[in-house]
């Protein structure tokens, strides 16, 4: 027998069948993992987040948050200088409003003439926004009717000592207004 030499067939090295597809799969997997980690972390840094409850921090699915600052304290109504301006065009409306508000503790008040207005608005000095919101709630106004007191004054003759100014429009009648004391209570 003759020594026959077998010729070997040359083999090509084993490679993935489609390296481009594998690259795309790896990129997609990395993006999905990054999104999951981003969402699990709330999508923001801890410095930007309000304090969260332990239950929320543990499972991340609660929407209840705890305020990081104490709620504002309200000034007792008798300690506020409230000026009620009549912008309604109805004679005596500011005086009737101050009389009604006095029964709710707003005893340091004054009725004056105000500039004409279609809507009743509560204006406040800086730092008294919670007190203004309590007054608005008391007389049945929505929160968007509370604004900072600025220039020009809503009153015909500005009152420099006013903490709050209630400019009464034709949409408010103290005789029929739905006064409610649920959020106007003081501490």
- Interval 33-48: pLDDT, tens: 766 666 665 544 444 4
Residues near 87 by Cβ (< 8 Å), separated by ≥ 6? 114, 115, 116, 117, 154, 167, 168, 169
Whether residues 47 and 96 fall in one domain: no
The mean predicted confidence, pLDDT, of the chain is 76
How far apart CA 152 and CA 168 sit, in angstroms, is 16
| pTM recorded for the entire structure | 0.59
Percent of the chain with pLDDT over 70: 58
Same domain, 160 and 97: yes
Residue 42 Ramachandran class (φ > 0 left, ψ -120 to 50 alpha, else beta):
left
Asked if 141 and 110 sit in the same domain, the reply is: yes
Are 46 and 82 in the same domain? no
Tens digit of each residue's pLDDT (9 = 90 or more) over 133-142: 999 999 999 9
Residue in 74, 93, 160 with CA at minimum distance from that of residue 101:
93
Residues 130, 83 share a domain? yes
Domain count, the chain: 2
What pLDDT does residue 79 have? Answer: 93
Domain for residue 186, yes or no?
A: no
Mean pLDDT computed over 153-176: 92
Give the domain extent around 111. Answer: 77-168
Tokens representing residue 33 in the block = 């993992």
Q: Does a structural domain hold residue 112?
A: yes
In this predicted structure, the answer to whether residue 80 has a pLDDT above a threshold of 50 is: yes
Both 85 and 158 in one domain: the answer is yes
């Amino acid at each position: 027998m003759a020594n026959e030499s077998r010729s070997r067939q040359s083999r090509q090295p084993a490679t993935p069948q489609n390296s481009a597809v594998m690259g795309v799969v790896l990129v997609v997997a990395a993006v999905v993992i990054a999104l999951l980690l981003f969402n699990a972390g709330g999508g923001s840094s801890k410095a930007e987040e309000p304090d969260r409850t332990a239950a929320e921090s543990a499972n991340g699915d609660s929407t209840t948050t705890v305020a990081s600052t104490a709620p504002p304290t309200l000034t007792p109504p008798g300690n506020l200088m409230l000026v009620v301006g009549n912008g309604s065009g109805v004679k005596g409306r500011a005086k009737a409003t101050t009389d009604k508000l006095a029964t709710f503790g707003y005893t340091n008040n004054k009725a004056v003439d105000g500039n004409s207005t279609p809507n009743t608005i509560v204006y406040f000095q800086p730092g008294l926004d919670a007190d203004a919101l309590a007054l608005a709630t008391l007389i049945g106004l929505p929160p968007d009717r509370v604004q900072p007191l600025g220039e020009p004054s809503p009153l015909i003759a500005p009152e420099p000592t006013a903490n709050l100014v209630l400019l009464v429009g034709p949409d408010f009648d103290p005789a029929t207004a739905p006064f409610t004391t649920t959020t106007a209570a003081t501490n």
